Structures are given as structure tokens and as C-alpha cells.
Amino acid sequence: MGYNVAIDGPAGAGKSTIARLVAKEKGYVYVDTGAMYRALAVYFLEKGIAAEETEKITSAAREAEVGIRYQDGAQQVYLNGENITSKLRTEEAGNMASMISPIPEVRERLLELQRSLAREKDVIMDGRDIGTNILPNADVKIYLTASVETRAKRRYQELKEKGTSCDYKEIVKDIRERDMRDMNRETAPLRQAEDAILVDSSDMTIPEVVEMIIQLCG
């Protein structure tokens, strides 16, 4: 059985960035569950399927093979044999992933891959329901959050640095809506596990958060 670290939290809290850095420091395998959902979202978007077309999504999910490989220490996400890593970070993919993730058939499609990785290797996994649902027996559980304003500023800065046109107020609106969806969905809603440690990164630097989590790991 591998050593498992679960990081949950809302969109834009920095889960992926923090998890990658902790993984590198500790030698864990980083499993980005959000990227796996985004991969399915890309698949549905490219097939022209809308988020509310549940039957089409359920059917299409069966045709989608999502895999994770590592090249030079970096995670690469594959969809039906094609490397789609560069397509995962768009706003469209993020919003679609948030809307399809509550669908039971979508979750089931990815769940076993996630759990099998955790059984075989020392992993750090981030998402919305890692500590509550996917890895309920994780050795360390973190609930990483930050204020809506802090998360929106980080996302705004990230997009501006990429040269992407964006509006701060729209980003705030999107984050609030995504929080509402994630926290109120019927299947595996976003919530802090009873035994998870709350980390509010609003006034913390990335190295400070990384160091805190490293200290919690065995």
C-alpha cells in the first residue's frame, strides 16, 4: 500500500501547484484528478456535447480512455492515445469539468484508475473529494482554501501573464458559481473531511504552504 496524501479545496486555491511541488520534494507521484476530468471535458467539447446532455455524456464517457504518463518528471495527460495536456487549462474545459464531474458514470470511469495508482505508489492527489470519497484512508488530508478575491486575483494574474484577455469581475463571478456548484452537487460534494487539516493560503506564499504540508507528511 502506498503512502497517500489528499488535498481538497475549491477552484483556484492553488492545489495543483502546491501538490506538484510537494510531490517533487518528497518523491511522490502527483495525480491531478482535475486534469483527468478536464480531459473528459475536452473530449465532450470537441464532440459538441453540452453539459446538460447527460445521456450523450454517459455514452461518450465509455469511449474515452484517459491516461497519465510522466515525461522528464512532468505529468502528461492522454485522451485516446493523444497528448492533450496543452488543452486542459482553458476556462471552457474548467467550467465543463465542473459541470460533468457530479455525473456518476463520469466519476466511475475515472475512480478505479485513481485508486489503483494510490494502492501501488506513494501519491499526492488533489481535487474536490479526495479525502472524503476517493482516498478516505489517506495518511494525510489537507483542505486548502483561500478567499474568493485572492483566488480571482491569482487566476487573473495567471491569465494576464499568458497574454490572455480577461476580466477580473467575470473571474470572481465564475469562481463563486463554481464554488456553489461544487459544494451543492448531489454526488461527492466539495467539503472538508472531518480529519483534514484546514490550510487557508490567502496570506501565505507558495513556499510557506509547501513547507507546512511537507512537515505534515511522514
Give the predicted TM-score (pTM) of the model.
0.76
Number of CB atoms found within 10 A of residue 134's CB: 23
Give the CA dihedral 202, 203, 208, 213, nearest 10 degrees.
Answer: -40
| In contact, 174 and 95? CB cutoff 8 Å | yes
Residue 74's pLDDT is 78
The span from the CA of 213 to the CA of 211, in Å, is: 5
Place of cell 502528461: 76
The span from the CA of 37 to the CA of 27, in Å, is: 24
Residue 165, SS3 per DSSP: coil
CA dihedral for 112, 115, 117, 120, sign (positive or negative): negative
User: Which one-letter DSSP state was computed for residue 39?
Assistant: H
| In contact, 41 and 89? CB cutoff 8 Å | no
Mean predicted confidence (pLDDT) in 126-155: 95
Q: Which residue has the higher pLDDT, 144 or 185?
A: 144
Predicted confidence (pLDDT) per residue in 6-16, tens digit: 999 998 899 98
* pLDDT-derived band at 38, boundaries 50, 70, 90: very high
User: Which residue pairs from 75-83 have beta carbons closer than 8 angstroms and sit at least 24 positions apart in sequence?
Assistant: 75/20, 75/30, 75/32, 75/35, 77/32, 77/35, 77/36, 77/38, 77/39, 78/39, 79/39, 79/40, 79/42, 79/43, 80/43
Predicted confidence (pLDDT) per residue in 73-97, tens digit: 778 999 999 999 999 989 899 999 9
Instruction: Output the nine-digit C-alpha cell for 72.
Output: 522528464
